Structure 1
Amino acid sequence: MTAEAGQRWTLRGAHTEYTVTVPAHGRWLELVAWGPHGVSDGPSPVAYDGPVPFLTAGDAAPIEYATDADRPFTGADLVIETVDGKRRVGFVHTDARIDAGQRELAVDFADPVTGLRATVHYLVPDGTDVVQRWVELTNDGTAPLRVVRAGSGGFCVPTPHGALLSHQWGQWSQEFQLSHVELGHGTFGIGSSQGVPGHLHVPWLAVRDTADPAGPAWGMALAWTGSWEISAERDTGGLTRVRAGRQLVDGPLELAVGERLSLPVVTGAYSPDGLDGLAQVWHTHQRLLAGDRLTPRPVLYNSWEATYFAVEAESQLALARIAAELGVETFVVDDGWFVGRNDDTAGLGDWTPDPAKFPAGFDTFIAEVRALGLNFGLWVEPECVNPKSTLYAEHPDWVYVVDGRPLTPVRNQYLLDLGRPEVAEFVHSTVDGLLRRYDIDYLKWDFNRPRTEPGRPGGVGPLDLDGAHVANLHRIYERLRRDHPDVLIEACAGGGGRTDLAMAARADVFWPSDNTGPLDRLAIQYGFLHANAPHLLSSWVTDAPGLFDPRPRTLAFRFVLAMAGVLGIGADIRAWTPAERAEAADWIARYKEIRDVVTRGEVHLIGGPDQARCAVQYTAPDERRVVVLAWHTGRLDGAGLLPSRPVRLPLRGLDPAARYSDGDRHYSGSHLAAVGLPVRWSATHDADLIVLTRD
C-alpha cells in the first residue's frame, strides 16, 4: 500500500508496543511512544514542535533515522557524500508496508537529488518485547555515492530527570564489568575499532530515568561482529537519543550505481522492571534466536589449564578417564594438538593432528575418549596464522597488510583476510574437513588478536575489509550449522571479545573470559547475564586464583558459580584428592537435575558481587521449581561467635499465596518476596544451591 505523510503505525510485542509516524512534512520518520501496551494512547512523551533557537527542528525531534540534513548539529545516523564531496542528503517519504499481525513494518524514503533510496525496517519477533531495526540503502542515482556514517538507527527515550546509562566495560580477563553513568547533558559513547566487538566495551546499553532506576528501562544492542559504535546524547529538553551502528574503520563505504547495502540490525528492548526485567527480555529474545538448538548443554571438561600446549594422547586420556568418572559428558582438547604447536609461536594454520603427540593416530585417540562414554570436542583458531607455519610460507599474501609497512604481530600471529574468497574457502574447508574427518561433537572456535593492518597486498582499495570479514565469518558459521547440526559451537575471542547478537544467533555458547578465578568470574558473569541468556554462558571450575580479587573460595563456591550457565571443568583433575573428586561428582549430578531450569527458566539477578546479597534465581517455565544459586562475596558477620542473622535473598516473580519447600523447610511466596530466602555463610560454607519446589 502507499502511505501518506501523517500516518502512524504501531508494532506490538508480547507486552509492549512501538509506535512511529511520518510527520506531515514527510521528511523523516519519528517515534510516538515506546513502552507497555496502550502507551501510545495519549500525548507523545517524546514529541516536540516548539522553538529551536540556533538549531533546526530535526535536531530536537525524536527522529528514528536521521540524515545530516535532518540533524545537522545534534548527530545524524546516516551521512552520504557524493563523488565531488557534497553532503546533506534529504529524504522524502514514498511508501510504507505493515503486515497484518502488526509485527513487521517497512517505510521507504528517497532523495531526489542523489537518487539514494532508504527502507527503514522494523520487526518484532513473535513472543518477545524487542524491536529489531535495520536499514537498506539503494543507489538509484547516476553516480557512485560514499557512506561516511553508517548508523543502523536512533532510539529516543524520555528521561525528564536525567539519564542513567548502564554499560559494560572491561579488558582481557576482566570483561562484562557493569557500570552506571548519570548523564545530565552531553554525549556518552562506547565502541570498538578492532574488527570484533572487543574486550573494552560490549555493544549493549541500557537507559533509565535517574528518578526511577527500578522502573522503566530501555535497552539497545547491536548485531554486528565487527567494529561498532553506540552513543547516547541527552538534550536540554529531557530526551536521550541513542545512536548505534557500524564504525567505519576502513573509511567510507562505496555504494555504486544500482548497488544495495544492508546495515546491521540494532535491537531495542523495553521492560517496566529495571535492569532485572530488561535482562529477561534479552534472554527471551536470545532463546528464540537459538530456536531448536536451545537444549541443555552437556557438562564438559577442557584440557587447557591442565596441560596448556603439552598435549599428547596419554595425558589427555588420563584426564578423560577421571572426567568420565566425575560425570562429565564432553571432553574438549584445547590448543596444542596440531603439528608445530608446542607454544604460541608456531603452527597456527597447519591444522593436521601431530603424529608425534598421537602415535596411534588421532582417530584412535578420539575413539578411546568416546569409549569412556564421552563426546569429543576440539579447539581451533582458523582465522589466524603464525609466521612459523606452512600456510604462511605458502600464502603470505593472505594476511592483512599495508604495503611498505611492517606487519604487527599480536600473540605471535597474524590475521587472515577472511574477506578474500579463497581465504574464506580455506577457513571453511579446514573446519568442515575436521568435522567430516573426525568424530567431533563440540567445536571451540577461538580468535586471539584484533585486526591491526587496514589493507591488502597491492594496495587495492578502498575496501570494506571489516564488512567483508564479518559477512564471511557469519556465512561460515551458518554453513557449519547447516551441514553439522549436531555439533555445538563455542565462540571465543581471547575470552569475551566476540559477543554480540549476531553471534548469539549463530554460536551455541560463548566463552566470556579467560579469567576463571572465582570472585573475578562472579563479577564477569553478573554483567554477562544482564545482556545474555544462561545457555550462552560457558563457565569452568578451576583452581586458578583471581587476577583482581585472589581471595580463595571453596570447591563448592566454584561449582555453584559455574552452574550459573553451562557447567564445565578446566582444572587439573589429576591433582584433585579422592574427596574433591567425590564432591565434584556430586555437584555435577546436582547440576544435571537443574540445568533444564537454568537453560529455560526466568532469571532474576539478586544483589551483586559487591554486596552481601549475591544470587541468581531461575524459575522454571511451569513455575514448579525455583533454583537459587547464592555466593558469599565478602566479610563474615561474627562467624557464629557474635550476634548475627542470615543474609536474606528476596526472590521475585513468585505466587505470594503458594508454598515452597526445600527439604523440611517451607516458605510462603509472600515470605520469600518480602523477607527473603535465608542463607548463612561461614568460613567453610561460602556458596549454596537451593531448589525450591512449589507444593
Structure 2
Amino acid sequence: MSREWTLRGATTEYTVGLPEHGGWLELRAWGPHGVSDGPSPLGYVGRPQYMTPGDVAAVEYAPDGVRPFAGPDLVVRPARALSWSFEDAAQEGDSLRVDFADAGSGLRAALHYRLAADSDVVERWVELTNAGDSPLQLVELGSAGFSVPTPHGARLTYLSGQWAQEFTPATTELRRGRFEIGSTLGVTGHQFSPYLAVRDARDTGPTWGVALAWTGSWRIVAERDAAGLTRIRAGRVAVEGPLALAPGATLVTPVAAGAYSAEGVDGLARVWHAYERGLAGDRLTRTRKVIYNSWEATYFDVTAAGQLALAEVAAEIGVETFVVDDGWFVGRGDDTAGLGDWTPDPAKFPDGFDTFVDRVRKLGLEFGLWVEPEMVNPRSALYEAHPDWVYQVDGRPRTTIRNQYLLDLGRPEVEEFVHSTLDGLLRGYDITYLKWDFNRPRTEPGRMGVPLEDPDLDGAHVAALYRILEALRRDHPHVTVEGCAAGGARVDLAMASRVDVVWPSDNTAPIDRLRIQDGYLRAHAPHLMSSWVTDATGLFDTRPRSLAFRFVLASAGVLGIGADIRRWSAAERTEAARWVARYKQVRDVVTQGEVHRIGGPDEERCAVQYTLDGRVVVLAWNPGPLDGLGTVPARPVRLKLRALDPATRYAAAGALYSGAHLMSAGLPVHWTADHDADLIEVTQTSS
C-alpha cells in the first residue's frame, strides 16, 4: 500500500508517504526542489525500545494511539488509544486530501494540504467528522505536526513580549525534550506570537518555520527526540474543556502553516512576507495612505473644533486620511463609560457628525474612525439593556479590565449587533478607514444560563469575528480595516488575511519601537505594519532621537502620524511635509518589496533594505549613543546590501558604487548627533 505524494511550491517541495501498514501519513522530505529524490532524511533505522514506531516516525498527524508517549496531535474521549486506517487520497494541483477512519469510534479524519505554486508555505488543516452514533469529546485538537531533521540539536527562534514590548526575538537550543509557547487568553496575545523558526543547532542555513492562523487560544510545541528529529505541533487550545463533536457533526481545525528557507531566519521572514502578500490578494496593490490618528494628541478630549485643528495641520503636511480615535461617542469622557453606545456625541459635534466629517473631507482628507465593538462598559445603555450579553459564569463575580466587559460574540444576537453597528456607521458616514481595537482578554469562561462544559466559546467568538470582518470587506471594499488589540495582541495569519494593516504595539517611542518592528518583520510583512510618528519618549529606552529618526522608523511599513502636530513648530511641520513626500515616493517599494534586515537594534548596523522591480530603498538608523560622534577618528558604518547585481553601477546618497562594492564593503552611512537616521534610494545608473 506504500504511496507518496509531492506538492511543489515556488522553490520548495513537500513530500508525504503512506507506510505499508496504512496507519498514518508521514513526512518523507521537505525542502528545496529535488530534496525528495533520495532516501528520506527523516527516516530512522533500528528498533524502537520501550516505545512505539509512531513515537519516533515523522508522523504528519497522530492520534494518541499512534504516538502514545511522544505527544499526539489528537486525543478523543471516550475512545482510548485512538488509531485509524487509510481510506482514500486525492491530489489536485497544489492540494492534497488524505482520509483516515477509526471503525471503533466512527471518527473520520481528512488531512488537508495546500502548497500554492507561487508560495513556499504549506497550509495544513484537518476536518474531523463524527460518523458514529455516540458523541465524542475532543480533548487535544492540533492542526498539524511538522517534522524537522535536527541531528545536532534544535535551535528555536520565537517572538515573546508583553504590552508595549511585543515581538521581542528570543532563541533557545533544545538538545532534548519539550518547548512550548501559546495563549489561553481567547486572543492571540502579547506574550507570544504564533510563530516558531527551527534549524539544526550547527547549521545556519536551512530553516523551517511554523505559524498558526488562529485568533483565539493556541499552542505551539516543539519536541526533540533522542534520534535527532524535532517535531512541532501547532493548533488551538480548548481552554473551556473538551470540545463536543455530536454524531454527524464536523469540526475543521485552523490552518497551521509551514515554511522553508535555505537562507536562515531572515530568508524565512521573506517567505512569510510573500505568503502574507498572497493572503492580501488584489488589496495588496491598493495604496497604503498616510494616516493621522488623534489619540496621543487629544485622548478622550474629542471635540469638533479640536479635531479640525489637527486635521488642518495634517492636510498641510501631506496626510491623506484623518482618523478620530477613542472619545467620539456618547458617554465617553474617559474609559469608565460609553463602550457599546456607538452614537456620535452631539455635545462634541454640535453641528452634527456628518457636518464634521464633511469638513474633514473638504480639507482633502479621507476620514477614519476608531471602534472597540466587542467591548462594553458597565456604565452604558447597551449593558443596561443586555447584561446577559457579556461572558460570565453563573454565581461568580464578573471581572472588569480597563473598566469594561467582553461581549460574547458567539451569541447570534451579539454578532448581529456588532455587524449591524459597524455596517451602519460605514453606510451612514463617509468613512474609508476603520480601526478595530480589542483591549482586554476573556476572563469568565461561561455564558449566562448555559452549562460551562457545553459551549465552544473560543471557537464561536473567533468564527463570528471572522464572519463580521469578511462581511465588512465584502460590502465596503473601499474601507481600510486596521486590526488592533491593546497594541499587538491580535497579530496572526488569520487576521493578516482579513484586515489591511495591524497595529504592532501601543509603544511608539523611537528606540523601543525600533526593537518591536525589528521583531515584527521576522514574521510579518511590512504592508501590514502600521507605524506612527509621535512625541513619545520611551518606556524601556528613553534616549532621545530626532524627528527624522521617527519618520524613517514609521516609514518602514505604513506611515502614520500620532503626535500633537498643533504644537509642532513651523520648522518641524516643514520637515514633516518633506518626509511624508519622500515616503509617498517609495511606499510601493516598502510595502510590496522583498525585505532584507541588515544588523539590528542592538548592533552598530541597523537597517532594512526593500527591493521591488529593480528599485532599492534602504532605511537606516543609529541605535547607539549620539554623544562623542565626530570628535575622534572613526570610519562610517557600512551597510552590506543584498541581492544586487555585482556588475551593475548604482547611485546612492550622491555617490556611485558597484553592486559588488555595496554587497561586500557596504553602503557607508556617517552618523552625527544631528543625523541619526536616513532614507536612501539606491538606483541603477549607466555611468
Scaled by the length of structure 1, what TM-score is found?
0.98
In 2, the alpha carbon distance for the partners of 1:120 and 1:656 equals 46
Asked if the contact 2:653–2:680 (Cα under 8 Å) also holds between the matched residues in 1, the reply is: no
Matches within 5 A, 1:385-534: 385-460=376-451, 461-534=453-526
SS at match of 1:530: coil
Matching of residue 77 in structure 1 with residue 73 in structure 2: yes
Partner of residue 363, structure 2: 372
Q: Is the 1:638–1:644 contact (alpha carbons within 8 Å) kept by the matching residues of 2?
A: no
Matched with 1:56 is 52
Q: Is the 8 A contact 1:171 1:199 kept in 2?
A: yes
8 A contact 1:128–1:281 mirrored in 2: yes
1:202 aligned counterpart, secondary structure: strand
Please show how residues 155-554 of structure 1 align to structure 2 within 5 Å: 155-213=146-204, 215-294=205-284, 295-460=286-451, 461-554=453-546
Measured against aligned partners, the alpha-carbon deviations of 1:260-319 in whole angstroms (never above 9, x if no partner) come to 110000000000000111111011111111011112300000000000000000000000
CA distance in 2, matches of 1:672, 1:155: 38
What is the deviation of 1:663? Answer: 5.0
Q: Which residue does 2:624 correspond to in 1? A: 634
Q: Does 1:45 align with 2:41?
A: yes
Where do 1:121-132 residues align within 5 Å?
A: 121-132=112-123
Identity over aligned pairs, percent: 68
Q: Return the letter of the residue paired with 1:244.
A: A
SS at match of 1:627: strand
- Is residue 634 of structure 2 the alignment partner of residue 648 of structure 1? no
Structure 1 match to 2:9: 13
* AA at the equivalent of 1:523: R
Q: How far apart are the structure 2 equivalents of 1:462 and 1:646?
A: 64
In structure 2, the residue matched to 1:671 is 661
RMSD (Å), alpha carbons: 0.8
Please say if residues 398 and 416 of structure 1, whose CA atoms lie closer than 8 Å, have aligned partners that are also in contact: yes
SS of the aligned residue for 1:382 comes to coil
Report the residue type matching 1:231 in the other structure: V
Pick closer, same or farther for the CA change 1:6–1:324 going to 2, 3 Å. same
SS of residue in 2 equivalent to 1:148: strand
Deviations 1:520-569 (A, max 9, x none): 00010001111111010000000001100011100000000000000000
Q: Which amino acid aligns with 1:370?
A: R
Are the aligned partners of 2:8 and 2:117 in contact in 1 as well (CA < 8 Å)? no
Q: 1:378-418: per-residue Cα shift (whole Å, max 9, x none)?
A: 00000000000000000000000000000000000000000
8 Å contact from structure 1 (residues 67, 89) kept in 2: yes
- Deviation string, structure 1 residues 599-655 (Cα, Å, up to 9, x no partner): 1111001111111111000011x21x2100000011359522212101111111111
In the alignment, is residue 93 of structure 1 matched against residue 89 of structure 2?
A: no
Asked if the contact 1:49–1:57 (Cα under 8 Å) also holds between the matched residues in 2, the reply is no
Q: Which whole-Å CA distance do the structure 2 matches of 1:402 and 1:664 have between them?
A: 67
After superposition, give the CA deviation of every residue in 1:179-217 in whole Å (9 maximum; x if it has no partner).
11111111110000000000000001000111122x011
Paired residue type of 1:296: T
* Cα contact 1:49–1:61 (8 A) shared by 2: no
Task: Say whether the 8 Å CA contact 1:158–1:239 is kept in structure 2.
Answer: yes
Residue identity in the other structure for 2:489: G
1:570 aligns with 2:572: no
What is the deviation of 1:459? 3.4
Distance in 1 (CA, whole Å) between partners of 2:668 and 2:46 is 55
Any conservation in 2 of the 1:301–1:568 contact (CA below 8 Å)? yes
Alpha-carbon displacement from aligned partner over 1:97-147 (angstroms, at most 9, x marks no partner): 001x3x100000000111100000000123000000000001111111110
Tell me the CA shift for residue 53 of structure 1: 1.2
SS of structure 2 residue aligned to 1:293: helix
Q: Which amino acid aligns with 1:688?
A: D
CA distance in 1, matches of 2:644, 2:505: 33
The offset of 1:436, in angstroms, is 0.4
CA contact (8 A) 2:627 2:673 kept: no
C-alpha distance after superposition, 1:435-460 (max 9, x if no partner): 00011000000000000000011133
- Corresponding residue number in structure 1 for 2:31: 35
Counterpart contact for 1:519–1:550, Cα < 8 Å: yes
Check the 8 A contact 1:166/1:181 in 2, yes or no.
yes
1:467-492 CA-partner distances (Å, limit 9, x unpaired)? 00000000000000000000000000
Distance 1:126 1:505 in 2: 18
Q: Deviations over 1:138-160 (max 9, x none)?
A: 11111111100000000000011
Amino acid at match of 1:299: V
**Cα distance in 2 between the residues matched to 1:88 and 1:104:** 30
* In structure 2, distance between residues paired with 1:664 and 1:462: 68
- Aligned AA for 1:330? T
Runs of 4+ in 1 over 4 A off after TM superposition: none
Rounded Cα–Cα distance in structure 2 between residues aligned with 1:163 and 1:614: 27
Q: How many residues align?
A: 683
Q: Report the residue type matching 2:513 in the other structure.
A: R
CA–CA separation in structure 1 for the residues paired with 2:629 and 2:351: 56
**Per-residue displacement from partner, 1:68-121 (whole Å, max 9, x unpaired)?**
001000100000112xxx42111100100001x3x1000000001111000000
Question: For the residues of structure 1 that align with 2:266 and 2:495, how far apart are their CA atoms?
Answer: 23
Question: Matched residues in 2 for 1:296 and 1:612: separation?
Answer: 33
Question: Quick one: which amino acid aligns to residue 418 of structure 2?
Answer: V
1:316-367 Cα deviation digits (max 9, x unpaired) = 0000000000000000000000000000000000000000000000000000
User: Which of 669, 682, 687 is equivalent to 1:692?
Assistant: 682
Counterpart residue number, 1:137? 128
Partners of 2:429 and 2:60 lie apart in 1 by: 50
TM-score with structure 2 setting the length: 0.99
Note the C-alpha offset of 1:48: 1.6
Which residue identity is paired with 2:641? Answer: L
Indicate the larger mover: 203-212 or 442-451. Answer: 203-212
